[in-house]
Amino acid sequence: MPPVLANYYLTYKCNSRCVYCDIPVNPNNVKVKEVNPQIIIENLQALKRLGVKVIDFTGGEPLVYKNLPQVLKAAKDLGFYTSLANTGTLYPYKAHQLKGLVDDLKFSLSTTDPDEYKVERGIDGYSKVIESVKLAKSLGQSPSIIATATPNSLPGMEKLIKLAYDLGVIVLLGPVFDYCDNELLNQENLQELERLMKYENVCLNEAFLEFFKNGGNQINNPRCRAISSNIVISPDDYLLLPCYHMFDEKLKIQHVNGISNLDELWHSFAVQEKRKKEGSWSFCQGCTIWCYFETSFLWPPDKYFWLNARSKTLWFKEKLKQKMLAPK
């Protein structure tokens, strides 16, 4: 089975400086240059040939990539389901160009307190995010809020959920994962997440929560399918292996006469050999980087599979409800 999802890093640049993310400041990232949109479109065509269904355009801040509307349009024309997480601090400047091009539009927000927002995300952006949610809704989009649950943000999370309810949006609540030596949630925090997920407009993937509680990925019996189910592309046109967060290998994508070899690259001996070891390297022990687990849980049919399926169904129902209530 080919990967279902592509995590397409359009840029590593970002106008925010979140406490739990080093993407824009990592010394290996700061000099990385973005490619032109034609190269991305050729890769999208290769992803289509490969059988990928969903493209998650990410970064850095994907709205910093100036050709984002052109790339999204190409993805839609190729029939992909498009997903875009962004801070909401730049969206008002591009909203009209992005209208109708994103199937799953998400704004990151974990607090209702502008000062706490500043501490968490390094910029004074709270009011812009609220403006973005309202603007997206007024344009007939069905945005969600991605809330990162940290020991600091959890006490204010209920207020955020209520605000989201008043705004008519879903909160995708996720526990902070270990990436920049950040403090993780303790047992008490996890119980609080279980309480909060009972709110009607909250979607928390129960499979992640269970996985988190069980200590994450175990290298002697890996649950990670990061290479099998995901494909990760860097802004400077490399296939990253095994995942963005812990890549130890990058393969340059070749383009000849307007054709990308990304699909052939994924099928290559080197990638398939690496795939056999996914989740088993020492850095994979205890991993809970949820970006790769929603698709990892698509098989085999174990408890994570069923919990994931139930959570995705609930999410889908909520999205549908929101879409039906959206202005035309």
Ligand X SMILES: C[S@@+](CC[C@H](N)C(=O)[O-])C[C@H]1O[C@@H](n2cnc3c(N)ncnc32)[C@H](O)[C@@H]1O
Q: Tell me how far, at minimum, the Cβ of 175 lies from ligand X, in Å.
A: 7
Give SS3 for 191. helix
Compute the distance between CA of residue 95 and CA of residue 141 in angstroms, rounded to an integer.
10
Q: Tell me the pairing of strands 144-149 and 104-108.
A: parallel
For residue 288, state whether it binds ligand X (rule: CB under 6 A): no
> In the numeric block, which tokens belong to residue 318?
């909520």
The residue type at 133: V
Nearest distance, CB of residue 188 and ligand SF4, angstroms: 25
Q: How far is the CB of 258 from ligand SF4 (least distance, A)?
A: 31
Q: Which does 316 bind (CB under 5 to 8 A by kind): ligand X, ligand SF4, none?
A: none
Measured CA distances, 117 to 12, 89, 104, 106, 156 (Å): 21, 12, 23, 17, 11
Work out the angle between the directed axes of helices 68-77 and 91-98 (0-180°, nearest 10).
30
Is residue 20 near ligand X by the rule CB under 6 A?
yes
Query: H/E element holding 49?
Result: helix 37-50
* Side chain identity at residue 102, one-letter code: V
Query: From the list ligand SF4, ligand X, none, which binds 81 (C-beta under 5 to 8 Å, kind-based)?
Result: none
As a whole number of angstroms, the distance between CA 312 and CA 155 comes to 26
- For position 148 contacting ligand X by CB under 6 A, the verdict is yes
Chain centre distance of CA 242: 16
**CB contact at 8 A, 55 and 104:** no
Which of 58, 66, 72 has the alpha carbon at shortest distance from 23? 58
| Binding partner at 3 among ligand SF4, ligand X, none, C-beta below 5 to 8 Å by kind | none
d(CA 37, CA 68): 8
**Residue closest to ligand X when measured from CB atoms:** 108
Alpha-carbon distance values, 119 to 19, 115, 326 (Å): 8, 6, 33
**Which residue's CB is nearer to ligand SF4, number 122 or number 151?**
122
In the bound state with ligand X, the residue whose beta carbon lies nearer, of 175 and 242, is 175
Q: From the CB of 108, what's the least distance to ligand X, in Å?
A: 3
From the list ligand X, ligand SF4, none, which binds 179 (C-beta under 5 to 8 Å, kind-based)?
ligand X
Report what 226 binds from ligand SF4, ligand X, none; CB cut-off 5-8 Å by kind.
Answer: ligand SF4
The stretch among 14-22, 32-40, 211-219, 235-243 that binds ligand X (CB under 6 A) is: 14-22
DSSP assignment of 93-154: HHHHHHTTT-SEEEEE---S-HHHHHHHHSSS-HHHHHHHHHHHHHTT---EEEEEE-TTTG
Q: Which residues bind ligand SF4 (CB under 6 A)?
A: 14, 16-18, 21, 23-24, 59-61, 87, 121, 217, 224, 226, 242-243, 245-246, 278-279, 283-284, 287, 289, 292
Minimum distance, C-beta of residue 276 to ligand X, in the bound complex (Å): 28
**Interaction residues for ligand X, span 98-117 (CB under 6 A):** 108
292 binding partner (options ligand X, ligand SF4, none; Cβ < 5 to 8 Å by kind): ligand SF4
86 contact, one of ligand X, ligand SF4, none, CB 5-8 Å limit per kind? ligand X
Select from 76, 88, 78, 152 the least CA-distant residue to 120: 152
Which residue among 165, 179, 199, 247 contacts ligand X (CB under 6 A)?
Answer: 179
Task: Give the count of residues interacting with ligand X (CB under 6 A).
Answer: 18
Residue placing its CB nearer to ligand X in the complex, 3 or 59: 59
* Binding of residue 146 to ligand X (CB under 6 A): yes
**Residues in touch with ligand X (CB under 6 A):** 14, 20-21, 23, 58-59, 61, 85-87, 108, 146, 148, 174, 176-177, 179, 182
